[in-house]
Amino acid sequence: MKNLVWPLLAVGQLACSATAVAERIAPSEWLSRMGAAVQSTSYEGTVIRIQDGKAEALKVVHTVSDGVIREKVVAQEGNGLEIIRNGNEVHCILPDRKSVLIEEWDDQSTLFSTLPTSEVRFGSEYDVSVVREDRVAGRQAILLAIRPHDGYRYGHRIWLDTETAFPLQTQLIADDGSALEQVKFADISLNKTIHASALAPSYSTKDFRWLTQPSRHISHALETEWVSSNLPQGFRAVATHGETMPGSDKVVTHIMYSDGLASVSVFVEPQGEAIFEGPSKVGGTNSYSAMIDGHRVTAVGEVPALTVEQIATTMSRP
């Protein structure tokens, strides 16, 4: 028994020492390390994603080489959907329909699209703190809490691997403290060699139909007179584009507002007759549509309902 106790004590002392070092690192430094880890880490594991009370399990293989993302995502339930990504080109394999849909993606993260950036103004709109040590997917983790100062944005909980600062679990938090959405690794291997075969389709697609999804839109930089007269504090316009949607010659004005963490997209489209107006919601994403000056104005984002309603209803052309 004595021979067993000493190694256990030694392991416990090492864990406590690592935790003490981790907790001395400033939250802002953890977030900086996290941003670098998401951009460069290769990983393989099982992800549980929960939204609207529904959970789905995904097997994920992800590599980054010379800035190019290669990824394979396999649904563990349902029709066996597989998503194979090579840079911005994505093949969605539907084995039950014997079809492959080819699309273009321009985002840099499949799982972590709402993580904070260096633009977040902590102390102004949010506070961030290290809450405690924890374990996720069998790995030591540090829990960071990002708390908003008002009701115009959600909070976040992020569990970071203490060794690499990679996010092992994320939660989008409502004002009552409940989790609106969650992404959590059940198991994960970080920065291990991933062979090309692990990124190949599980099915032979030789006899499948190959369909090319038209580009979602043609986008170009645009100056616009459309502005919100009452933006929630901290939000500012970070990009404005004109977008032509497939099958239409209408130019839709797209204005992106952000506070560095939360983002709201506003779409302004010429509309001859009123169609749907008002709120809608999916998971933590809210949207609000209104008719203003002969245009349909829609604001959408992972923010509370009052945020998109206030922005949408206060848009105008001076």
Identify whether residues 147 and 207 lie together within a single domain: yes
CA atoms within 13 A on the CB side of 120: 25
pLDDT at residue 12 greater than cutoff 70: no
C-alpha distances out from residue 187 to 6, 11, 59, 112, 184, Å = 29, 22, 10, 17, 9
Domain tally for the chain? 2
Identify whether residues 206 and 222 lie together within a single domain: no
- Asked if residue 163 is part of any domain, the answer here is yes
- Asked if residue 5 is part of any domain, the answer here is no
Identify whether residues 87 and 117 lie together within a single domain: yes
The CA distance from 259 to 158, in Å, is: 18
Q: In CATH, what number is assigned to the domain containing residue 234?
A: 3.30.200.100
Q: How would residue 18 be classed by pLDDT, with cut points 50, 70 and 90? A: very low
Residues 280-308: tens digit of each pLDDT: 988 889 999 999 988 899 999 999 999 99
* Whole-number percent of the chain with pLDDT over 70: 84
Positive or negative: CA dihedral 267, 91, 248, 289: negative
pTM for this entry: 0.83
- Least confident range from 71-75, 114-118, 146-150, 172-176: namely 114-118
Identify whether residues 107 and 247 lie together within a single domain: no
Q: What is the amino acid identity at position 115?
A: L
Identify whether residues 101 and 163 lie together within a single domain: yes
Identify whether residues 142 and 226 lie together within a single domain: no
- Residue 99 burial class via C-beta count within 10 angstroms: exposed 0-12, middle 13-18, buried 19 and up: middle
Cβ(38)–Cβ(115) below 8 Å: yes
Identify whether residues 196 and 232 lie together within a single domain: no
Residue-number span of the structural domain to which 295 is assigned: 218-316
Q: In CATH, what number is assigned to the domain containing residue 128?
A: 2.50.20.10
β-strand pairing of 285-292 with 295-301:
antiparallel
The CA distance from 41 to 64, in Å, is: 7
Last residue of one domain, picked from the residues 211, 240, 272: 211
Nearest alpha-carbon partner for 34 in 96, 114, 95: 114
* pLDDT given for residue 11 in this prediction: 46
pLDDT at residue 312 greater than cutoff 60: yes
* pLDDT given for residue 298 in this prediction: 94
